[in-house]
Amino acid sequence: MSVIIPEKDLPQSLSPSDSVEAAYSETLADTASSIQRGIPVLIECDKDMAPFVFLNLRNRLRQHEIRCLYLDGRPQTEEQQNLQSGLLGMMIAQLRDAVRGAIDRRVVVLPHLDLLTTSQGGLTAEAKEVIPLLYENPELVWLGFKDPSFSIPSVIENLFPKRFSILGIPRDRLKALITQKESRKFGREFNPWNLYKYVSGMNAVRLRKLLSTLEGEDYPADPKHALTQIRQATAIGKMEVPQVELHEEIGGYDNVKRRLQTEILDVLAVKDGKIEAQEIQRLEQLIPRGMIFWGPPGTGKTLFAKAMATALGAAITIVSGPELKSRWVGESEERIRQIFQRARQSAPSIIVFDELDSFAAARGTYTGSGVEHSMVNQLLTEMDGFKNGELVFVVGTTNFAEILDPALLRPGRFEFHLHIPVPKSDDRRAILKIYDEKMNLEMDEAAVECAVRRTGEFVEGAAPGTQFTGDHLNALCRSLARIRLRDDRNDATTSADVERALTEWVERPSMTLAEEQVVATHEAGHAICTLFCEHTPPIERISIRGDLAGALGFVKSQDPAQKYIVTQNQLLDRLCVLMGGREAELMLLDDLSIGSSGDLDHATSIARSLVEEFGMGGETVGVGQLITRPFGSERTRQYSPSQLELVERAVNRILETARQRCIGILNKNKHLVETLRDLLLDKKVVDAKSLGDWSTANQVPKQAEQKITTVES
């Protein structure tokens, strides 16, 4: 069946009352039937809908000679007019008169139940006075109205055995809520299902007001103008409509973009192009409503959510997970419920729960008050309540996807998982070029490539192991822009500017010449062993400036060609390199610093893993795995005390073999250690080009020279 509606089949005019009947006739009939049978009813609907719903029900009940008493706080008698008790006091007085003065069965209408509670759902002083009245007269039939933005206490809600929700618009009734004149603003072929995604959260009365104000030409080739007016009217509260182009304003991350495009955006685009109801409904079943965007901090998880919203024309709200928590019972769940309510009213929309793991960690791991479990349940309840055709997506961002509650990750909930990792070199290049253009940095090609290489290292001045992300690249480019502003520059940004931006304000240790001599000797030893070990990656950079947190110097190598396979030879070469700093100090300084502590710890760990985990300890130990590492636990050794000596001997043998191999390399190439040390003392930082010039001047053997990255600076 086609969803295209001919103009002649649409109504010529509609009053608000007509629209309420057209949209909710089935629910209203069920409500009236329940009241006729003496069953109290609670209706959840927007405030502006309540009067029209009441009028519809009153007319239905009049046919059965059932009277309604509407208690809205307006004075109805001269005595009530003389009372100075305010709206709430007047409502309570009216309620008291209705309960104690009733001599026959009647329907008492309570249009403002939310006034009897606080926003946290607790009882007000007035509510405590009202509750006994509500239960006092069993002859009365109650009809209550509840605003979806507020909760009411259970003691009041339990008064109503029947509950109906009149929220949003049923998709199959939308065709009855638009007039012929209004349909012309959307083109010659009116497709209410395409319009539905923009108005699914609106009630019929509000929709009629909005449609009656649409401006623009009739029968446009593109309905964009009319849809834009609707979009501006439905984005309420903290919802924003972002403008972030996925392919133009986010650099790199081709795989991430392709997956988001093909699995979400393209499916939605195909759905919007269909006109058969069954085909549309089939495609809607393919679209995941819940998504997890995970990866390190600063990689652009929220930015990708905004780009997705832009592509869909959706509003977005970003909610901080920790800020949702409240010390008041029930308030955290109420906040989640209100967020979903606003998102439904602003559909199409995306809710982003930033730091989802702050309240949705696996059950049994909570360390807080226990409210997290209730928050997860409320979140799942709201997600399970999505209607067909209601375009509301939920995105959870986290740095720790592995700790999330498995109940959240099953199909039908947060089933779409998108990994956004630290940017690779191509990604960094693309990101830098976008910022270069936006900030008018005029970076030359050499500067871009220098920035790409330097941001492949750890962030100087940050916590150890911090890698460059999109946020760090943005900060780098803003620093370059400030340098150009301070220096009143209009020329090109160079590699020297990039280096200045990265290092100008980094606090480094102020070492004496003697200390620099030790550090330079140590790093030269590491570097020479790297050059002469076949299974180590090429060197990119050596520094003795103390610009890496926790280290006075470092040797930076390229990423290994094999990223997923680690061999025994690679580990043994790594042990030799780790010994290089210590043995170079002994060889040239005839002394040892404690700077080798970290190297020895790492080396010992590798040697133990070779013996205990990888079965590479030799024939005396055997090939069995001697330890296990249960998730989240420390090593568990599985060998007897009699095997301990064999294991320790094997570990010591591997370490000593690596040390002797290192000593042999350094003794044979002592002049290279000395000249590289002197180069480091002179320049402090030796990049790939300088290292290449040094290797040529010192006639480094060809096999070792290949271990120098020959990228131009």
Torsions phi, psi for 49 (to 5 deg): -90, -30
User: Is residue 593 within a helix (H) or strand (E), and if so which, with residue range?
Assistant: none
Place of tokens 């750890």: 458
Asked if 239 contacts 315 with a C-beta cutoff of 8 angstroms, the reply is yes
Q: SS3 for 291?
A: strand
CA-based nearest residue to 240, from 322, 303, 334, 309: 309
Instruction: Write out the two tokens for 319.
Output: 């909610």
How many residues are there in the chain? 713
Instruction: Write out the two tokens for 572.
Output: 């043994």
What gap in Å lies between CA 671 and CA 700, rounded to an integer?
10
Asked if 249 contacts 434 with a C-beta cutoff of 8 angstroms, the reply is yes
Rg of the chain in Å (alpha carbons):
35
What percent of the residues of the chain are helix, what percent strand, and what percent coil, each to the nearest 5? 50, 10, 35
With vertex at residue 401, the alpha carbon angle to CA 399 and CA 407, rounded to the nearest 5 degrees, is 145
What gap in Å lies between CA 529 and CA 534, rounded to an integer?
10
CA-based nearest residue to 66, from 19, 109, 128: 109
State the first-to-last Cα distance of the chain, in angstroms, to the nearest integer. Answer: 65
Asked if 493 contacts 442 with a C-beta cutoff of 8 angstroms, the reply is yes
Torsions phi, psi for 418 (to 5 deg): -120, 115
What gap in Å lies between CA 467 and CA 625, rounded to an integer?
33
User: Is residue 265 within a helix (H) or strand (E), and if so which, with residue range?
Assistant: none
Instruction: Write out the two tokens for 564.
Output: 């997923």
Q: CA distances (Å), 49 to each of 15, 147, 207, 278, in order?
A: 13, 10, 11, 31
**Following DSSP, what letter does each residue of 116-168 receive, concatenated?**
GB-TTSPBPHHHHHHHHHHTT-TT-EEEEEE-TTS---HHHHTT-SEEEE--S
Asked if 419 contacts 397 with a C-beta cutoff of 8 angstroms, the reply is no
> Which residues are identified as catalytic?
523
Torsions phi, psi for 564 (to 5 deg): -120, -15
Task: Classify residue 675 by burial, with Cβ atoms within 10 Å: 0-12, 13-18, 19+.
Answer: middle
Cα Dmax for the chain: 113
Asked if 83 contacts 75 with a C-beta cutoff of 8 angstroms, the reply is yes
Characterize 122-148 residue by residue with b for buried, 16 or more Cβ atoms within 10 angstroms of its Cβ, and e for exposed: ebeeebeebbeebeeeeebbbbbbbbb
With vertex at residue 64, the alpha carbon angle to CA 58 and CA 67, rounded to the nearest 5 degrees, is 50
**Following DSSP, what letter does each residue of 354-421 receive, concatenated?**
ETGGGT-BPTT---SSSHHHHHHHHHHHHHHTPPTT--EEEEEEES-GGGB-HHHHSTTSEEEEEE--
Q: How many CB atoms lie within 10 A of CB 12?
A: 8
Q: What is the strand order of the sheet 162-165 is part of?
A: 68-70, 107-110, 141-146, 41-44, 162-165
